[in-house]
Every structure is written in structure tokens, then in C-alpha cells.
């Protein structure tokens, strides 16, 4: 089995206009900067971006927002220092925003990958973010019903990968990458080191079954 793509451009070629795309990372760590740049170059528009943050400065998701490629952002924490492109698009009402509590975002993505129809969480019960959602009281405690969150594609960043699509991570760069690998129908991983040889099985964090293509990108900006 060989899931290696020739380059970043080949890896992102299948992403069409209107696709939903999960993008790994938290703050500045674990972000697939190379794949995002390749997606920008590729030109897909009207994207739904599912990520924890909405980018900062002129890097990553912020570039997609800057260049008008994004129709909708689904995230937990869009506003951060330097998130100027998100704020401009939001204030001009050029993008739709769905804010989801961070743990619910991760678990909805996991549910999609794990084949679950949803779950009951106490997070958000009684708040604005639970309005219109099914609720239930179990043993005196309120829960909100949350459904799975699927995506057409996921763009991931990992430290090491092999031709089978197995991935391992570095430090806090792991974050959303493993759940997004599960939650998307087609997951593309950018890795710092892509080896010919298989990774040590004990070192694998994301099993290759969740990854459809893998490409080396050694730069860590």
C-alpha cells in the first residue's frame, strides 16, 4: 500500500468548490500550512472550514478568508489576537459563523468518525448554544443532544508518516488532527518526515486506515 502523494498540489487536487474541509491545529501549532497554501493555489471556493480557530495574521486559514474562498466557518474560538481577516469577513457579513463549544466540536467530529448518531453532553445546557436542540434530563442533570459532524476532507499536520498513512505527532501539535483524520471522508496529511519504512507500530497515534493521502512538507513556519 502506498498513500504517498507526489506533492502538495496533487494531494489537494480532489477538493472541489463547496467542499467541507476540516483543518487540524490549535492556535499556531499542528496546522497544515503547506496544504492550506496548496489549497489556496488550487483555487477551490465556497468552502466550509471546520477548525478550532479562524486563523491569525496572514497565515493558514486567515489566507483562505482573505482571498474570499470561505462561505462558512465552524469553530470554537474564531477571535484571537491577529484574527483580522476573520473579523473583517464577519463584520461585513460575508461569511456564516457557527460557534461550537470546543469539547463538543471534538466529540462531534469523533462521533462522525466512529459511526455514532450523536451523544448527550452537559456542555452548553441552558445556554444560547443549546437553543433549538433536543435536551434530556438524566438523574437530575440536563444534557444536550449533539449530532455527528462529518466533512468531505481533512487537512492534517503530523510529525512523521509512512506510506501506509500511519501518523505520529510532536508535542501539542497533536490537538484536533487525530479526530479530524477519523471524521472526514478523505483525510490528507502533511508530515514533517515521510519515511519509506513503516513507523514503529507502538509509535503510531493515527492508524493509516483514517488517512487517504500523505505528503512530506518539512517546513515548520
Partner 1 sequence: MNRLSDSDLAARVARDIPDGSYVNLGIGKPTHVSAHVPDGREVVYHSENGILGVGPTPPAGQEDVEMIDASKRYITTAPGASFFEHADSFAMMRGGHIDIAVLGAYQVAENGDLANWATLDETFPPAVGGAMDLVVGVPRILVMMRHTGRDGEAKLLRRCTFPLTGLGVVSRVYTDLAVLDVTDAGFVLVDLTPGNSLAEVQAVTEATIHT
Which residues contact partner 1 by CB under 8 A? Answer: 26-30, 52, 76-81, 86-87, 90-91, 97, 99-104, 106-107, 109-110, 121-129, 169-179, 205, 220-221
**Minimum CB distance to partner 1, residue 145 (Å):** 15
Cell 514533517 belongs to residue: 192
**Minimum CB distance to partner 1, residue 9 (Å):** 25
Nearer CB in complex with partner 1: 153/169: 169
DSSP string, 23-50: E--BTTBS--HHHHHHHHHHT--SEEEE
Nearer CB in complex with partner 1: 44/176: 176
DSSP lists the bridge partners of residue 214 as 4, 189
Please, are residues 68 and 45 in contact by the beta-carbon 8 Å criterion?
yes
User: Would you call 8 helix, strand, or coil by DSSP?
Assistant: helix
**Minimum CB distance to partner 1, residue 33 (Å):** 11
Nearer CB in complex with partner 1: 26/217: 26
**Minimum CB distance to partner 1, residue 93 (Å):** 10
Cite the beta strand spans of the chain per DSSP E. 20-23, 47-50, 70-75, 96-99, 119-121, 135-138, 141-146, 151-161, 167-168, 184-194, 213-216
Nearer CB in complex with partner 1: 27/147: 27
User: Would you call 154 helix, strand, or coil by DSSP?
Assistant: strand
**Minimum CB distance to partner 1, residue 56 (Å):** 9
Nearer CB in complex with partner 1: 26/164: 26
Helices (H) and strands (E) in the chain, counts: 6, 11
Amino acid at each position: 500500500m502506498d498513500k504517498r502523494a507526489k506533492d502538495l498540489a496533487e494531494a489537494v487536487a480532489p477538493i472541489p468548490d463547496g467542499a467541507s474541509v476540516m483543518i487540524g491545529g490549535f492556535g499556531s501549532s499542528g496546522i497544515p500550512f503547506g496544504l492550506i497554501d496548496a489549497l489556496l493555489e488550487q483555487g477551490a471556493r465556497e468552502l466550509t472550514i471546520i477548525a478550532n480557530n479562524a486563523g491569525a495574521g496572514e497565515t493558514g486559514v486567515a489566507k483562505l478568508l482573505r482571498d474570499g474562498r470561505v462561505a462558512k466557518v465552524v469553530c470554537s474560538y474564531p477571535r484571537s489576537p491577529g484574527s483580522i481577516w476573520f473579523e473583517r469577513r464577519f463584520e461585513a457579513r460575508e461569511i456564516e459563523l457557527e460557534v461550537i463549544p470546543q469539547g463538543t466540536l471534538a466529540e462531534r467530529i469523533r462521533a462522525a468518525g466512529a459511526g455514532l448518531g450523536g451523544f448527550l453532553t452537559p456542555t452548553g445546557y441552558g445556554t444560547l448554544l443549546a437553543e433549538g436542540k433536543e435536551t434530556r434530563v438524566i438523574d437530575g442533570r440536563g444534557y444536550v443532544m449533539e449530532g455527528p459532524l462529518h466533512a468531505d476532507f481533512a487537512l492534517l499536520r503530523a510529525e512523521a508518516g509512512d506510506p501506509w498513512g500511519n501518523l505520529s505527532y510532536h508535542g501539542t501539535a497533536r490537538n484536533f488532527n487525530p479526530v479530524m483524520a477519523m471524521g472526514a471522508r478523505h483525510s490528507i496529511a502533511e508530515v514533517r518526515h515521510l519515511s519509506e519504512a513503516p513507523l514503529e507500530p507502538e509509535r503510531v497515534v493515527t492508524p493509516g486506515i483514517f488517512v487517504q493521502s500523505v505528503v512530506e512538507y518539512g517546513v515548520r513556519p
